Amino acid sequence: MDFGLTDEQELLLESLGDLLERECPESYIADLDLNHQQPTSFRKAMNDAGFGSLGFPEEYGGTPCDAVTLVLLAERVARQGLNNGYGLELLQATDILEFGNEDQKREILGYLAAGEVPFALGFTEPGAGSDNSAMATTAVHHDGLVTFNGTKTLITSALASKNLLVMAKDPAVENPREAISMYLVPMDSPGLTTNRLDKIVWHISDSCEIFMDDVTLPESCLVGVKGAGFKQLMRNFELERLVIAANCLGQAQCAFDDAASYAAQRVQFGKPIGSFQLIQLKLTDMAIKLENMRNFVYRTAWMVDQGLPLKSQGALCKRYCAMAGFEVADEAMQIFGGVGVTVGTRVSRLWRDLRGHRFGGGTDEIMVHIAGRQIVKDHS
Amino acid sequence: MKIVVAYKWAANPQDAEVGPDGTVDWSRAKGAVSEYDPVAFELARVLADTCAGEVVGLTVGAAAIDTPLARKAALSRGLDSLVMVADDALRGADGTRIAAVLAGAVRAIGDVDVVVAGESSVDVGDRQVAMTLAAQLGWAGLNAVRAVTADGGSLVVEREVAGGVETVVAGGPVVLAATADAALPRVPGMKEILGAAKKPTQVLDLAALDVPAPADTIAPVSTARPDTGNRQGVMLDAADLPAAAAQLTAALRQSGVL
């Protein structure tokens, strides 16, 4: 079993490290967090260096990429302390490149090149989230137009986006799997209004409610095939869970490194607190969790590259890494003591942001729902 | 215009360990493009792009410099091709010897108009290879270069000189040593890294370059860390700022700084 990196992966990580040092220092991230802003300039720099089209088809200027390399890069950006800094937007854009029309592709690629969020994913509703069959937002096609009505909530980055990738159902179709379609809806469409939701996590990504009251657009806003929205959306969910897990790994590593350095420097009773066995126990257990996370993420990515069916693997990986990542950050904060909870410390931001991954992209509990039934099925 | 970037595949100082006695252990240091050289790659690439030129990388050293990683690391930095002289006879070679081998390689490449190098190597820091190379080639040599542009068949070169900037025109072949901040080197992107292996690399035979054997006239006697002075580590209490300022000026006067 070869755990080594390829030459290309080593060089990519070195290059990314240089780019992060130049374009994404801690002061930059802290400012984004404080002012609740997106990392636009960093994303633009990533795009200029070619990282913004990773995995895209070559006809769109993309570069083919394996899953292991993708998670290595996502982990490295997260290790800088930046939450959701890389990877997820690529997977989302892939939906458009795969299923969208030429106008939609051109528009989304343009936003990516500018470092902007190409679109927000409008899926969750007040009465529906993981239970997509309960979705209530409707899209009614008539006279070459589509009219949307409904409410979306907890939508990430919509206020910073030009578009919303709306999942909505045709009320005339009973089977929810065949009723849902995918649409690209401009955020400034008449009838679309928003309400910001302030939250204690993920400050660089806004959240909001979105109300659609008779929002009417040409049918060309449909993405892909009518009625196939759910299948289209599910296509990248396994990879999305994997990238989230890599993000948790990187941020947890960042928290661990900060805590270990602090333990080596903070002196109490005449010696560094890292010399006390209770602190060493914490650091050791944190290191074990990080090693487990790393192995889980890399192996899952390797399975993707081998074309092996993930079955429950993606959900297991996401659940473990989200929980273990937060536990590492929590212990890191404990090692920092009172300093850790003061506003502006990196460990406090990591603690907040890692907490968000226990529900973002699917709760810990829904991962059990996904993995558990698969495990039972495999053994029946 | 054919532009050669002379660079060093050097041990990365970040991986080196300095012992209590000042000795440096390089045994765990990985190789990398020497820290002062990416600026030379950038100047060369920008110059080539403005005059439809060609950029050839050139490095010489022990056999260990020729690895797939080392090749790709250089080729991903805007080179069109790479030429190497990798021979264990060059292990530990001094700057004069390296310059002589570089000169032989430049002649072997042929039709070279300009050689661009960094101001120094990150591991040895001799600051003399580029100008010695110019002497070996019988070309003009310009150090402290902060900018270079093409003007017809000539090069317009800006140099940092004492108290200002000098602009000169180089009408013939020339060796340029760039300052560390002459350009902001681009970060190798995805396409450059993934495409590096497809670019041509030529390994030259050291013996075939017909470089005269080195004369053993220089041998290191000792090395020592620079004198850091007698640090006193005086701590001032800043709670009372005017008093702290007075203490600071008094301490500086006492130490002879003021």
Contact A221, A167 (CB under 8 A): no
What distance in Å separates residue A6's CA from the closest CA in chain B?
Answer: 9
Q: Which domain holds residue B256?
A: 231-258
Residue count of chain B: 258
Report, as ranges of residue numbers, the positions in chain A whose pLDDT lies below 50. none
Q: Domain boundary residue among A162, A195, A227? A: A227
Whether residue B214 is contained in a domain is answered as no
Residue B14, CA distances (Å) to B24, B25, B31, B123 in order: 11, 11, 11, 10
Residues of chain B with C-beta less than 8 angstroms from the C-beta of A18: 187
Per residue, what are the HEC states of A129-196?
Answer: CCCHHHCCCEEEEECCEEEEEEEEEEEECHHHCCEEEEEEECCCCCCHHHHEEEEEEECCCCCEEEEE
Count of structural domains, chain A = 3
Inter-chain contact B187–A12, Cβ cutoff 8 Å? no
Same domain as B141, residue B36: yes
Q: Which residues of A224-261 are buried (b: 16+ CB within 10 A; e: fewer)?
A: bebbbbbebbebbbbbbbbbbbbbbbbbbbbbbebbbe
d(CA A303, CA A195): 41
Q: Does some domain include residue B244?
A: yes
Does the beta carbon of B73 lie under 8 angstroms from any beta carbon of chain A?
Answer: yes
Question: Is residue A320 situated within a structural domain?
Answer: yes
* Residue range of the domain that includes A37: 7-113
Q: What is the pLDDT of residue A61?
A: 75
* A-chain residue closest to B193, CA distance: A8
Same domain, A146 and A109: no
Hey, what's the torsion of the CAs at B245, B248, B250, B252, to 10 degrees? -140
Pairing of β A180-186 and β A192-196: unpaired
Total domain count for chain B? 2
Please tell me the distance from the alpha carbon of residue A285 to that of residue A103, in angstroms, as a whole number: 51
Is the minimum CB–CB distance between B68 and chain A shorter than 8 Å?
A: yes
Residues of A in contact with B194 (CB under 8 A): 8, 63
Beta strands in chain B (DSSP E): 2-6, 9-11, 17-18, 24-25, 31-33, 54-61, 81-86, 114-118, 140-151, 154-161, 164-170, 174-178, 201-203
Taking an 8 Å cut-off on Cβ atoms, the answer to whether A22 and B187 are in contact is yes
Residues A325, A256 share a domain: yes
Whether B67 is covered by a domain: the verdict is yes
CATH code (residue B73):
3.40.50.620
Looking at the structure, tell me whether residues A186 and A315 fall in a common domain. Answer: no
Q: Are residues A342 and A250 in the same domain?
A: yes
Which residues are bridge partners to A151 per DSSP? A211
Asked whether residue A65 falls in the same domain as residue A42, the answer is yes
Which of A164, A195, A227 corresponds to the end of one domain? A227
A89: domain CATH number is: 1.10.540.10
Tell me the pLDDT band of B8, cut-offs 50, 70 and 90. very high
CATH of the domain at A141: 2.40.110.10
Residue B235 sits in the same domain as residue B185? no
pLDDT band at B232 (very low <50, low <70, confident <90, very high): confident
Question: Searching chain B, which residue's CA lies closest to the CA of residue A62?
Answer: B191
The amino acid sitting at B169 is V
Q: What is the pLDDT of residue A360?
A: 87
Are residue B87 and residue B122 in the same domain, yes or no?
yes
Q: Provide the pLDDT confidence category of residue B90 given band limits of 50, 70 and 90.
A: very high
Structure tokens at A206: 């806004």
Nearest-angstrom CA–CA distance, B188 and B4:
19
A2 occurs within a structural domain: no
* A108/A173 same-domain check: no
* Whether residue A299 sits in one domain with residue A196: no
Q: Are residues B149 and B43 in the same domain?
A: yes
Residue B216 within a domain = no
pLDDT for res B217: 72
Task: Fill in the amino acid letter for A244.
Answer: I
Alpha carbon B117 to its chain centroid, in Å, reads: 6
- On whether residue B225 sits in a domain, the answer given is no
Statement to judge: residues A68 and A133 lie in one domain? no
- Using the Cβ of B195 and the Cβ atoms of chain A, whether some distance falls under 8 Å is answered with no
In this structure, the answer to whether residues B83 and B124 fall within a common structural domain is yes
* B243 plus B157 within the same structural domain: no
Min Cα separation B65/chain A (Å) = 14
Residues B144 and B193 in one domain: yes
In 10 A of CB B233, how many CB atoms?
4
Question: What is the model's pLDDT at position A62?
Answer: 78
Q: Are residues B126 and B236 in the same domain?
A: no
Residues 6+ apart with CB under 8 A from B27: none
DSSP E strand boundaries for B131-172:
140-151, 154-161, 164-170
Q: Let me know if residue B81 belongs to a domain.
A: yes
CB pairs under 8 A between A and B: 45
User: Which of B73, B186, B191 lies nearest to residue A11, judging by beta carbons?
Assistant: B73
Is the same domain home to B53 and B137?
A: yes
Is A257 part of a structural domain of the chain? Answer: yes
In this predicted structure, what is the pLDDT of residue B110?
95
Looking at the fold, whether B108 and B140 belong to one and the same domain comes out as: yes
| Nearest in space to B175 (alpha carbons), one of B227, B212, B228, B128 | B128
Q: How far apart are CA B163 and CA A129, in angstroms?
A: 67
Residues of B in contact with A72 (CB under 8 A): none
Residues of B numbered 202-241 whose beta carbons fall under 8 angstroms of chain A's beta carbons: which are they? none
Q: Could you give the CA distance from residue A278 to residue A276 in angstroms, rounded to a whole number?
A: 6
State the DSSP code for A6: P
Distance from CA of B68 to the nearest CA of A (A): 7
Q: Closest by alpha carbon to A163, among A232, A92, A230?
A: A92
Name the H helices within chain A. Answer: 7-23, 26-35, 40-48, 67-79, 88-99, 102-113, 176-179, 229-234, 237-265, 277-305, 313-336, 346-356, 364-378
CB < 8 Å to A14, chain B: 32, 73
Same domain for B28 and B108, yes or no, is yes
Residues B172 and B250 in one domain: no
CB atoms within 10 A of CB B151: 11
Same domain, A88 and A222: no
Q: Which one of B75, B187, B198, B201 would you mutate to disrupt binding with A, by most A Cβ within 10 Å of its Cβ?
A: B187
- Do A247 and A372 share a domain, yes or no? yes
Chain A positions contacting chain B at CB under 8 Å are 7-8, 10-12, 14-15, 18-19, 22, 48-51, 53-54, 63, 65
Examine residue B236 and state whether it is found in any structural domain, yes or no: yes
Q: Which residue of A has its CA nearest to B190?
A: A50
The verdict on A109 and A124 lying in the same domain is no
Please report whether residue B199 resides in a domain: yes
What is the predicted pLDDT for the residue at B49?
96
User: Is residue A165 a contact partner of residue A155, using CB atoms and an 8 Å limit?
Assistant: no
| Res B189: pLDDT | 87
Tell me the CATH number at A347.
1.20.140.10
B177-222 confidence digits (pLDDT tens): 999 999 999 999 888 998 999 999 999 999 999 898 877 777 888 8
In this structure, the answer to whether residues A178 and A289 fall within a common structural domain is no
Per the CB < 8 A criterion, the answer to whether A162 and A135 are in contact is: no
- Find, among B80, B188, B72, the residue nearest to A50 by Cα: B188
Give the residue from A363, A319, A326 showing the smallest Cα distance to A252.
Answer: A326
Last residue of a domain, one of A95, A113, A131: A113
* Predicted local distance difference test score (pLDDT) of residue A184: 95
Among B193, B199, B201, most A C-beta atoms within 10 A, so best to mutate, is B193
Instruction: Give, to the nearest 10 degrees, the angle between helix A313-336 and helix A346-356.
Output: 150
Domain annotation covers residue A220: yes
Q: Is any Cβ of chain A less than 8 angstroms from the Cβ of B201?
A: no
B72 vs A: CB within 8 A: yes
Token code pair at residue A244: 């989230």
- Is pLDDT above 80 for B107? yes
Contact check, Cβ <8 Å, A8/B193: yes
